[in-house]
């Protein structure tokens, strides 16, 4: 792991028994840092996106490498990232893999090692060095939780992981705060997609404080270091032939940010936005991003 990666995260050393990776809430991410998700199928940055990284001192890009989806009864990679541009010097790349929840309905022997080997191969093929972390994104439920947790353990003790990486992180959705914590070094709390997109009359399904509020009481005692991720994207959907667009007003993002940081002050340290894209950048004023990334 590069110097920047080690210095930015500064996770307190977590002492655990066996292979279990858990932390008490006081062992938090302690150094301020700005980050983004990159969620396209081609890594190519234009001048606006590069300027954004510089202007907001972005040190980490959580880059979606591929998805894992069920196909013919087996989990298979899908929508693999192609690399066109390198990230600027001083910006750490964190391979991120999205796994659909149905992949975790039963164990798939060997899947964890295959996933890590694929990431290593993609890094080597594209001359990407200094990568010290992997993040796994899964909307696990009570049904799939144990299989997913076992899957994370398999990743962290697989030989390709121990040979190439030092940190394993995972996404945490609001409803998952009610569950025991996953075996990871830290989680990124997804403060977006908080509503039900299937309901036509639903409040803004991207982010609404009323959807976040019921989960605030779980934050203080959640036994895993957490970062926070906020939405800056436009969500388009068709409901009964009607095109509906959702994006979150800056005031609502900041309202949620204030609420979660009141319950768990350490959430102000490592802050992400979802996701890096010219249109998303231009959707908000410069001062909005400055306030989101304010520590």
More confident residue, 111 or 198: 111
Judge if pTM exceeds 0.85: yes
Strands 42-43 and 82-83: parallel
Copy the structure tokens of residue 8: 């930015």
Kindly report, residue by residue over 115-163, the tens digit of the pLDDT.
Answer: 999 999 999 999 999 999 999 999 999 999 999 999 999 999 999 999 9
All structural domains of the chain, each given as residue ranges with its CATH number in brackets, are: 30-292 (3.20.20.80)
Report the chain's mean pLDDT, rounded to a whole number.
90
Give the pLDDT score at 200: 57
Cα separation of 96 and 163, whole Å? Answer: 18
Q: Is the pLDDT of residue 270 over 70?
A: yes
Give the pLDDT score at 198: 65
Give the pLDDT score at 15: 33
Are 137 and 96 a contacting pair, CB within 8 Å? yes
Alpha-carbon separation of residue 238 from 28, 274, 290 (angstroms): 41, 22, 33
Give the pLDDT score at 240: 72
DSSP bridge pairs for 11: 29
CB-based burial of residue 22 (10 Å sphere; 0-12 exposed, 13-18 middle, 19+ buried)? middle
DSSP labels, 68-88:
EEEETTEEEEES--EE-SPPP
Cα separation of 14 and 20, whole Å? Answer: 10
Secondary structure of residue 116 in the 3-state scheme:
helix
């Amino acid at each position: 792991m590069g110097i920047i990666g080690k210095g930015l995260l500064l996770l307190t050393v977590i002492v655990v028994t066996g292979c279990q990776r858990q932390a008490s809430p006081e062992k938090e991410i302690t150094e301020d840092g700005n980050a983004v998700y990159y969620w396209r199928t081609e890594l190519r940055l234009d001048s606006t996106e590069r300027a954004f990284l510089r202007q907001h001192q972005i040190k980490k890009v959580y880059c979606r490498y591929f998805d894992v989806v069920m196909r013919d009864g087996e989990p298979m990679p899908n929508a693999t990232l192609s690399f066109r541009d390198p990230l600027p010097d001083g910006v750490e790349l964190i391979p991120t893999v999205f796994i659909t929840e149905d992949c975790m309905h039963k164990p798939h022997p060997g899947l964890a090692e295959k996933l890590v080997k694929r990431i290593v191969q993609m890094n080597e093929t594209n001359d990407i060095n200094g990568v010290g972390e992997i993040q796994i994104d899964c909307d696990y439920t009570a049904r799939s939780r144990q299989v997913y947790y076992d899957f994370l353990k398999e990743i962290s003790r697989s030989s390709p992981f121990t040979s190439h990486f030092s940190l394993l992180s995972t996404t945490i959705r609001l409803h998952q705060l009610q569950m025991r914590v996953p075996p990871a070094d830290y989680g990124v709390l997804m403060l977006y997609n908080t509503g039900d997109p299937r309901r036509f009359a639903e409040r803004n399904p991207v982010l609404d404080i009323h959807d976040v509020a019921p989960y605030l009481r779980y934050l203080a005692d959640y036994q895993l270091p957490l970062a926070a991720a906020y939405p800056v994207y436009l969500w388009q959907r068709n409901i009964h032939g009607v095109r509906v667009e959702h994006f979150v007003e800056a005031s609502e993002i900041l309202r949620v940010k204030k609420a979660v940081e009141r319950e768990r002050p350490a959430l102000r340290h490592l802050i992400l936005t979802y996701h890096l894209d010219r249109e998303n950048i231009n959707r908000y004023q410069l001062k909005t991003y400055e306030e989101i990334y304010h520590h």
